[in-house]
Structure 1
Amino acid sequence: MSAELVAAARAGLAELADAEKAPQMQRYMKSAMPYRGVATPARRKLANRLFRAHPLADVAEFTAVALQLWREATYREERYLAIDLTGHSAYRSWQSPGLLDLYEEMIVTGAWWDYVDEVAIRRVGPLLRAEPGVLEPILRRWAVDEDHWRRRTSIICQIGAKSATDTALLTTAIEASIDEPDFFLRKAIGWALRELAKTDPEWVLAFAGNHGGLSPLSRREALKHLKN
């Protein structure tokens, strides 16, 4: 069934291709890999249809298909479909720390925000909340990793966690990158703090007050909706 799903995915994207939109999308994302020109709503409809029509037998086949779509992609939307597959509701029960190697590959080899943010927030984050004893030590290592996309993941993976946010882990992740000039790390810090401020504004204000080294970008984003 896996080969049929991969073939159907490629054929489905080809049918939806828009030659006019494709180069525009590629320029916007600054992507070396070309696009088919398939808009997100259309791709998601295709994904739902494909995943219903081609059910996968077990987590091994699920992982193999995701990796094949990812590694053999010639158009960026094929990688988007790989990420869509990993989040499909039919396979929610298969989510476990055993998939972290898959997600780490997507983060490191994807190395751009459109891939990384989805995987970090919607795949790694839920795993952290479900299995904190397993994920927390890994994310603490990622927080100081040479790879900035692992670092970004450690910072933003708790977006949406609200009161379940592990603020000690978030503090570690932010402090590890607070002096980094990288735009995507500075933006990640501000974004993570801004989202947490929706449910714990006092903590965010105290954090900002105690961390004078926050970049102007991070601070502005963090306090965007707060009076300080």
Structure 2
Amino acid sequence: MGDTELHAAADVRAALAAAADPARAAGAAAFFKTGPGGYAERDVFIGVAVPATRSIVRRSLSLPAGDVAELVASPIHEERLAGLLVMVERFRRAGRARTRDDAARAAEHERYLDAVRTGRVDNWDLVDATAEVLLGEVAFPSAPVDEVEPAIVAGLVASDSLWSRRVAVISTFAAIKAGDPRPTLAVAERLLDDPEPLLHKAVGWMLREVGKRVDRGALTGFLDEHAARMPRTMLSYATEHLDPAERARYRAMR
């Protein structure tokens, strides 16, 4: 039934298959660029809506770690997403004040890093649903942060993998939410010349959040220094919420 707890990867796969929609799968395959030469070439969608996936995940939190890893290693996108979201939810629950379990959080964090390094976190939605929590909340647990660019984040920024670099960028959202813009600015500066449009969007988004949530002056100071060399999409995202005249001024600097 819809609220029955799921105890194995096979149960999760069956629940996802029951919620699958071929028409939605075709649309997702096109939207996520799975065709030849696309950034998600050969990814496989079965057409499960994200809310339905999250509902299944809530029934799957007692899965053994090996079963979660099995889902994360799946060729099916929604199965990878489900496995990763189980990790996110278990990490969050282990961080609750009354029942805090730092060992459990560390275990989920390490499993996530393994998934990133082995190429399992390989689309922007998978990154964006996980990096802030499973990397960012470990790398940037408070503000001001102890290290502006911890070694694990720096290593991902330098990776040849587009998705690892996006993980690094999105992880800094945790620092933004903690009130410290410096990690985002440091990572953004290192990625100004990145060739990938999906990185331009991610960096611009995080810069925009710096200006909205923490310090508008930190954003405009970064733009004063770097707008002329920023890729067009990055600059567009970063300046979205500035007033029209200021936005136009920065965009004219390119």
Determine whether 1:17 maps to 2:20: yes
Tell me by how many angstroms 1:12 deviates.
Answer: 0.8
The equivalences for 1:115-194 within 5 A come to 115-130=126-141, 136-159=150-173, 161-162=175-176, 164-194=178-208
Q: Aligned-residue CA RMSD in angstroms?
A: 2.5
Give the drift of 1:28: 1.7
The whole-number CA distance in structure 1 between the counterparts of 2:146 and 2:155 is: 14
| Partner SS state of residue 50, structure 1 | coil
CA distance in 2, matches of 1:66, 1:169: 30
Q: CA deviation at 1:190?
A: 0.6
Deviation at 1:129, TM superposition (A): 2.4
**Cα deviation, residue 44, structure 1:** 1.3
| Counterpart residue identity of residue 33, structure 2 | K
Aligned CA distance change for structure 1 residues 5 and 50 (closer, same or farther; 3 Å): same
- How far apart are 1:75 and its partner, in Å? 2.1
Calculate percent identity across the aligned residue pairs: 25
Find out whether 1:218 has 2:227 as its counterpart. no
Could you tell me whether the CA contact under 8 Å between 2:136 and 2:171 is conserved in 1? yes
Q: Distance in 2 between matches of 1:74 and 1:186?
A: 27
What is the CA–CA distance in structure 2 between the aligned matches of 1:103 and 1:225, rounded to whole Å?
33
CA contact (8 A) 2:43 2:75 kept: yes
Letter in 2 for 1:37: G
Report if aligned partners of 1:23, 1:34 keep a CA contact under 8 Å in 2.
Answer: no
Aligned to 2:84: 83
Alpha-carbon distance in 1 for matches of 2:161, 2:22: 34
SS of equivalent to 1:95: helix
Number of positions where the alignment pairs a residue of Structure 1 with one of Structure 2: 216
Partner residue, 1:38: 48
1:48 aligns with 2:58: yes
Shift of 1:115: 1.3
- Aligned with 1:145: secondary structure? coil
Deviations 1:73-108 (A, max 9, x none): 242111111011102254444222x44442234335
Partner amino acid for 2:67?
V
Using structure 1 for the length normalisation, give the TM-score.
0.82
What displacement does 1:122 show?
2.7
Is contact 1:191–1:222 with CA below 8 Å preserved after alignment?
A: yes
Q: Which amino acid aligns with 1:80?
A: L
Distance 1:36 1:146, change over 3 A: closer
Q: Higher helix fraction: Structure 1 or Structure 2?
A: 1
- What is the correspondence of 1:62-81 to structure 2 with a 5 Å cutoff? 62=65, 64-71=66-73, 73-81=74-82
Q: Which residue of 1 aligns with 2:218?
A: 203
Return the alpha-carbon distance in structure 2 between the equivalents of residues 163 and 50 of structure 1.
28
Kindly tell me: are residues 205 and 136 of structure 1, through their superposed partners in 2, closer, same or farther at Cα, counting changes over 3 Å? same
Distance 1:45-1:194 versus aligned 2 partners, 3 A rule: same
Query: How big is the shift at 1:36?
Result: 2.2
Cα deviation for residue 4 of structure 1 reads 3.8
* Stretches (4+) displaced over 6 A: none
TM-score (norm 2): 0.75
Q: Distance in 1 between matches of 2:163 and 2:112?
A: 12
CA distance in 1, matches of 2:220, 2:152: 28
Unaligned runs of 5+ in 1: none
